[in-house]
Amino acid sequence: MNDILQRIGELGIVPVVKLEKAEDAVSLGRALLEGDLPIAEVTFRTDAAEESIRTLSKELPELLVGAGTVLTKEQVRRAVDAGAKFIVTPGFNPSVVDYCVENHIPITPGINSPSQIEMALERGLNVVKFFPAEQSGGLPMLKAMSAPYGSVKFIPTGGVDTKNMLSYLAFNKILAVGGSWMVKPEMVAAGQFDEIARITREAVYTMHGFELAHLGVNCSDGQEAADGAEKIASLFGMAVKDGNSSIFAGKAFEFMKSPYLGEKGHVAISCNDVARALAFLKSKGIGSLPETEKKKDGRTAAIYLDLHVGGFIFHLLQK
């Protein structure tokens, strides 16, 4: 997969931005960065689009900027010349798609039928935009339509918001979702950039779904682990579950039968997608310990982080 599309998958959400005035571009871009979502798809539906893309690309190089609602090859050329790193079209225009493919420009054409998916596959594309998503039948339609196409990933856009975002993202053929709910034109026009940053950050953390899964305590041996689990279980009415390397009291407390990572133990944080969470935490300066990775069905199911607090090491778990 193209590096740009790979990055879009790591970010998970693509804000679809409509800018009426180019002078709002930098403030909007900074709001997205403050909201931990360094990406913007600027729609080519306004006269300010081209200049907005140019300004964002120059002033905020850390922001991944693309052009959306692109209808012609001329718009592709103008968008790319202005600094757009990817192109998004509402439908499948063969001349536009072919131009992008021939010039190695990342493009996600809009589709809502199997025939259009096959048109994309014929051109070597394996990521497409499902548009308009909700009006085309939503997630049930996408699941049925995508069944024969195992290698294709989708970016549903159109009617996607915080209410249905997680349902889409839980489907393993979704690369990311696109939407404008955090960057509504009226908010941009009113200069509500702090509010845009807040809503964006809320969307990002909703997507990740970070929650405390359990606390792991390092014990010197199996007997100490058993004693600790039995004590906590008896005090708080929890069941004891004996495993190969640890003993659980309920689901929240794990007692290790021998010392493992972390001076005192570990803190397990569950999330909706471990790989996407790792990319997010990397942007915060937090690395991982690859040798601790555990996979299930081809996906990362658990991995320890290079994060130590109060003698405890943290690790991620797939929900």
Which residues are part of the catalytic machinery? 41, 129
CA quadruple 281, 158, 65, 78: dihedral, nearest 10? 170
- Cα four-point dihedral sign 20, 55, 9, 207: negative
Residue 259 phi/psi, 5° resolution? Answer: -60, 135
Side by side, which strands form the sheet with 107-108? 107-108, 87-88, 64-68, 39-43, 13-17, 177-179
Dihedral class, residue 24 (left if φ above 0, else alpha if ψ from -120 to 50, else beta) = alpha
Alpha-carbon 255 to chain mean position: 33
- Give the bridge partners for 87, in sequence order: 67, 107
Helix (H, G, I), strand (E, B) or coil at 149: coil
Round to the nearest angstrom and report the end-to-end CA distance of the chain: 26
What are the beta bridge partners of residue 194? none
Run of H or E residues at 304: strand 299-309
